[in-house]
Amino acid sequence: MKKLLYLPIEIKHREFLAKLLLSFFAVKKNFYVIIGDKEGIERSTRYFGEGIYFDKSISLNKTQKFKNLREKNIKIVCQDEEAGFNKVNKNHINNFFSKRVTPENLRLIEKFFCWGRFDYTYLKKKYKKFEKKFSLTGSARFDLWNKKFISNIFKNEINEIKHEFGNFILFPTSFGITTLEEKNKRINQGKFLNYITSNNELKYKITEYNNLYSNFLEFVKLIKYISKHLPNQNIIIRPHFAENKNDWKKCFKGFKNVKIINDHDISLWILASKLVIHNGSTTGIQSYYMKKSVLIYSTKFSKKIENTFPNKFGTILGNKKKILDYIKNESEEIFNKKIDRIHLSNTYLSQQIIKKIDSIKVKKNNKYKSLIPLWFNVFFVTRKLRNLFSSKSLNSLNENKTNIRSKNEKIPGGISKIEISEFLKKLEIYFNVPKTIKLRYLGPNCFLIYKR
């Protein structure tokens, strides 16, 4: 009998490796771990029941979901993947946490893992009644900021990127809006999820999205300017998961030295690049922490965006010509600023998070012994057929309103056994532990990870 941990993945390139790190340390603590996409985890909770569910937020629209999980004797922990530490304006901060952390949902969870001192202090003060539920742990994603760790684990992959693209410039984006159509989709989504509930909120969001779109257009101009003046300089654009990748491709059709790529974890691209240029992206903070030269392109619209904290780390330039000169001269950066809002550590934070999760009392599970993988395939096919014949149902319409990006955009290529297995084997070698981890198929895009 062992504890069972559910690890759902929404955005593969953002969460996959971090969730596998959690899986690795959980298995070493004698957990069973089920990792998969939303559908895979849903059908697994129906079959396995009791366990601990690690969700990506406790936003105001999740109350019924949490109640359903608790009815199955599943306890809930959370770390908000959107974080909130990138916001500086007090109103932006208050608005973010009022939508993403609610008292009703705090009552339903066991623990809320904070990214750093910033959100930990804010939330404990705001929700004094639930202060014991907040844990200052940092994020498993921060383990992927460990330069020594990533350089060792992905040495071959980083060298392959360098070999293919040379000394390239990396543009990690964070606009979210790449067309006026995308802006309208975001507004409709906000209304449906009750993030936009008044005319004042609507006006504010329209202004915010207009600024983000204008900032996007300024970056398109900058990249084209660099591409034209440095035709032998490779440029890699890494679109934010909320953005339409095809919009970027349309903008740079015919630009031979500009590539739009989302393969691999961002850490590999940072280490392989010669320079990172961004505005308002968490990748900018990560790049600075990994001692990579960082340029912040400051436009007349960038001061109006919400996520300005990342712009404190690196060199700020607001002129295309100066940026071009910076690139040509390969200026060196001094990395002496402390990143005080987030909890970074030389130890593995994913391991610390699992220790916190292991302290939660939960009924142990042994249903894996009677597992019939065929049952999960039947469940998957049945669900797909039901959705196919009820495509105009309320549920289908709701799905379209809540998900701007498709499942294939969020989890490109799905989740495969081989990619999980390869990374876990790398970890076993790196940490010099016995190769005891096993995988079992639980239907499409979902796997059970355990120790034999």
CA pair distance 44, 5, nearest whole angstrom: 11
More confident residue, 380 or 251: 251
Instruction: Domain count for the chain, please give it.
Output: 2
- pLDDT for residue 10: 95
Q: Is residue 152 part of a domain?
A: yes
CA pair distance 73, 49, nearest whole angstrom: 7
The pLDDT tens digits of the residues spanning 111-121 come to 999 999 999 99
Residues 190, 283 within the same domain: yes
The pLDDT tens digits of the residues spanning 188-202 come to 999 988 889 899 999
CATH number, domain containing residue 187:
3.40.50.2000
Q: Is residue 246 part of a domain?
A: yes
Residues 34, 20 within the same domain: yes
Residues 247, 384 within the same domain: no
Q: Is residue 157 part of a domain?
A: yes
Question: Which of 271, 304, 329 is at the close of a domain?
Answer: 329
CATH number, domain containing residue 356:
3.40.50
The pLDDT tens digits of the residues spanning 301-341 come to 988 889 999 999 999 999 999 999 999 987 777 788 999 99
pLDDT band at 375 (very low <50, low <70, confident <90, very high): low
The pLDDT tens digits of the residues spanning 256-278 come to 999 999 999 999 999 999 999 99
Average pLDDT over all residues of the chain: 91
The pLDDT tens digits of the residues spanning 79-113 come to 999 989 999 999 999 999 999 999 999 999 999 99
pLDDT band at 377 (very low <50, low <70, confident <90, very high): low
Residues 55, 163 within the same domain: no
Residues 163, 15 within the same domain: no
Residues 106, 166 within the same domain: no
Q: Give the residue-averaged pLDDT of 134-162.
A: 97
> What is the residue-wise DSSP string for 310-323?
GGGSSEEE--HHHH
Q: Give the residue-averaged pLDDT of 227-248.
A: 96
Question: Which of 285, 305, 329 is at the close of a domain?
Answer: 329
Sign of the CA dihedral running 274, 278, 281, 285: positive
Question: Which of 274, 294, 329 is at the close of a domain?
Answer: 329
Give the H/E segment covering residue 358: helix 349-358
Residues 135, 170 within the same domain: no
Q: Are 140 and 349 in contact (CB under 8 A)?
A: yes
The pLDDT tens digits of the residues spanning 117-143 come to 999 999 999 999 999 999 999 999 999
- pLDDT for residue 394: 45
pLDDT band at 396 (very low <50, low <70, confident <90, very high): very low
pLDDT band at 56 (very low <50, low <70, confident <90, very high): very high
Residues 136, 151 within the same domain: no
- What's the domain range around 264? 147-329
Residue 399, pLDDT > 80, answer: no
Residues 89, 123 within the same domain: yes
Residues 68, 111 within the same domain: yes
Q: Is residue 336 part of a domain?
A: no
Dihedral of the CA atoms 128, 139, 174, 406 (nearest 10)?
A: -100
pLDDT band at 369 (very low <50, low <70, confident <90, very high): low
- pLDDT for residue 397: 44
Residues 221, 301 within the same domain: yes
Q: Give one word for 288, left, alpha or beta, with left for phi > 0 and alpha for psi -120 to 50.
A: alpha
Residue-level length of the chain: 452
Q: Is residue 231 part of a domain?
A: yes
Q: Is residue 217 part of a domain?
A: yes
Q: Is residue 335 part of a domain?
A: no
Residues 284, 314 within the same domain: yes
pLDDT band at 389 (very low <50, low <70, confident <90, very high): low
Q: Give the residue-averaged pLDDT of 35-52.
A: 94
Q: Is residue 97 part of a domain?
A: yes
pLDDT band at 392 (very low <50, low <70, confident <90, very high): very low
CA pair distance 178, 248, nearest whole angstrom: 8
